Structure 1
Amino acid sequence: MELETSESQQPDLDLETPPSPSDIFIAPSISRGQILKGLSYSYFSPLPTILQQNSSAESSEPQKCVLGIDEAGRGPVLGPMVYATFYLPTELHESLLAEKYHFNDSKVLTPETRSSLMRTLCTTETDLYASCGWAAKLLSARDISADMLAPTPYNLNAQALDATVELISGVMERGVDLEHVYIDTVGQPEAYQRKLEKFFPGVRITVAKKADRDYPVVSAASVVAKVTRDAALEVCWEAYAEQPADGNAVEKEKDKGADKGWGSGYPSDARSINWLKANMDPIFGWGTETRFSWGPAKDMLEGKGAPAGADWPVDDDEDTMKMTDFLVSRGEGSNQRDELANWYGTQVTEEIF
């Protein structure tokens, strides 16, 4: 099952846990309003200066580019899943990303290093900004769960494929001439690659496990995805910290366990599970930051430790009721009078005529 595959991953929880708020870089891909509403959305950076100049030159050939795609937050019960893409001229792939800036799989970089690289990418005076473009697709926890629990389930693999296609298409629509696309995957690379080749027949596509380690452009995409997810989690966390209990935000944080935070958001993280237990509304569960379709959340809501539940009456298939059953009381001691007549004022009798 897709859910079991996602939740069974065992990440390094320390590296997956967002850094302290002061160390989180809030990239332009963060839309606070949309995140708090539980909306999924996409962000595309401006076209790199080097590609803008190339497209404006009448005699020049389109500059060939490579593009990488990776994700962050596939398995957590808290926060969005973020797919990110990163692209730049093919000739700069190794020299700029690997040799100069030392991009690597975001899971082996410290939070401080990830934020520093992302900040450089978003600083207009740097060669990264001038040469590289990027984009991010945030799939909210609310939308992920709603789609997976729909009558016709829209599973996580299908959501991931559509996000990937949207990002590649969006870059191409901006006039970028893609020569080669590299994609990291947790599933079967061959099947995934064949699907994408049908969408983009004119582009060479390589889908591989550990692509975020082997191809610098995918490493850069993994940094974009992870920094964006960390910032999105911080926005979700602030929403809880900003809601005071009895006018005292400090006491609310203390009551909710805010001094410990909610950790990485993964089901294997005790901090995340403890936060879910401490903050669960017995009827409505949690807010838009929680994936209701994930096992731990479902267990808490559907009976394993849930303090409250709701039983809905089952419709009777036999049509044995008469219209008068709704109008006349037949209970013991009843005077058999029409109840509707007593709802407003005094019952009408023959004496008034």
Structure 2
Amino acid sequence: MDLSAYDSHNWENANVDSEIPDLCKKEPCVLGVDEAGRGPVLGPMVYGICFCPVSKHDDLKASGVADSKTLTEDQREKIFEIIHKNSDYIGWSLDIISPVYISNCMYKRPKVSLNEVSHNSAISLIKRAIAAGVKVAEVYVDTVGPPEKYQAKLQDIFPTIKITVAKKADALFPCVSGASICAKVARDRALKGWKFPEGIEIDNWGSGYPGDAVTKNFLMNSIDRVFGFPGIVRFSWSTAEKIADEKCISASWNEDEDEEKKEKTPSVLQFFARKQSGDVYEAPPPVKKRHHFFTDRCLSSVQNF
């Protein structure tokens, strides 16, 4: 598993893929989808898929795959090596979603929820496998949100594939367990190899979960009063937001009412009204709209005196 592309640009998303087994291009395949790192305030969320021919699904189970949360790190690493060595019939793919991207999505207007980010990642990975030539016949997904709605959504997108979305799918279907292990191993390795573009030298930030005292201590000590947290932190998590509110310099953003009024569509009556100075109609001068970069960020023009 080569994560060098992500390690060197960990503020961007990255895809990592195994070789596609020839058998997966010839026989109908099962494909499992799962994630790692949904809850932590630190680091990326990783979505993974694991696939193999339907005829080999029991062989995948025999490799020892299980819900990654029930395994130790050493056990996950060993099982991943087994998956990797059986590349003649097992394939996998990863979507590493950076904490910067997660925060940007959740702060967008309109907001892109973490559920939507998750759904989009799962869909893109399934499409990625199909585009690579995998004969996907069955897809099993660990649910995000109500399983019935999620399954209907996926079935609409992939009408020719049998879709099953279930709670605790990583404990029910070997291909989902395999995806869970691939995703978790990738996230663990990404955090171990994390390089701070900000030049920070810290090698212990705990588990990354908001309730971890070591993680909280890292958040308290790594924050800059102007620029906030380093890129490993998901700014949009309430734990991070509370610390930023307490320790950072406050800033207020005032709505530019004048600009908003200018951008409103003029009344139809204005086009039929006569000028007071004569009978000839003159259209009002065109108003140059501000670029969305400024309006999306509530930025307004200022003048120094």
Same fold, TM-score > 0.5, yes or no: yes
Which residue among 64, 83, 102 is the counterpart of 1:102?
64
2:232 paired with 1:289: yes
Aligned to 1:31, what secondary structure does the other structure show?
helix
Which residue among 197, 210, 219 is the counterpart of 1:267?
210
Distance in 1 of aligned mates of 2:126 and 2:256: 49
AA at the equivalent of 1:113: Q
How far off is 1:153 after superposition? 0.8
The sequence identity of aligned pairs, in percent, is 38
Which residue among 8, 24, 28 is the counterpart of 2:2?
28
Distance in 1 of aligned mates of 2:126 and 2:255: 48
How far off is 1:142 after superposition? 0.4
Residue 65 of structure 1 is matched in structure 2 by 29
TM-score of the superposed pair, with normalisation by structure 2: 0.79
Which residue among 92, 108, 111 is the counterpart of 1:150?
108
Distance in 1 of aligned mates of 2:188 and 2:90: 22
Aligned to 2:33, what secondary structure does the other structure show?
strand
Count the aligned residue pairs. Answer: 259
2:10 paired with 1:46: no
1:58-117 CA distances to partner (integer Å, 9 max, x unpaired)? xxxx311100000001111100111000000111101x2222x11100000110011112
8 Å CA contact retained: 1:70, 1:225? yes
Aligned to 2:225, what secondary structure does the other structure show?
coil
Residue 308 of structure 1 is matched in structure 2 by 249
Structure 1: runs of 5 or more not aligned: 1-26, 56-61, 245-251, 318-353
How far off is 1:308 after superposition? 2.8
TM-score of the superposed pair, with normalisation by structure 1: 0.69
AA at the equivalent of 2:215: S
1:199-251 CA distances to partner (integer Å, 9 max, x unpaired)? 00000000000100011110000000000111111222x438x947xxxxxxx
Aligned to 1:170, what secondary structure does the other structure show?
helix
Distance in 2 of aligned mates of 1:283 and 1:32: 27
Distance in 1 of aligned mates of 2:134 and 2:248: 54
The 10-residue stretch of structure 1 (153-162 or 188-197) with the greater mean CA deviation from structure 2: 153-162
8 Å CA contact retained: 2:47, 2:95? yes
Structure 2: runs of 5 or more not aligned: 259-305
Note closer, same or farther for the CA distance 1:64–1:310 as it changes in structure 2 (3 Å cut): same
Residue 14 of structure 1 is matched in structure 2 by none
1:226-265 to structure 2, matched below 5 A, reads 226-236=184-194, 238-239=195-196, 243=199, 253=202, 258=203, 261-265=204-208
2:83 paired with 1:121: yes
1:228-280 CA distances to partner (integer Å, 9 max, x unpaired)? 111111222x438x947xxxxxxx55xxxx4xx11111112111111100111
Distance in 2 of aligned mates of 1:120 and 1:316: 62
How far off is 1:155 after superposition? 1.0
How far off is 1:186 after superposition? 3.8
Distance in 2 of aligned mates of 1:312 and 1:161: 33
How far off is 1:34 after superposition? 4.8
Distance in 2 of aligned mates of 1:282 and 1:98: 50
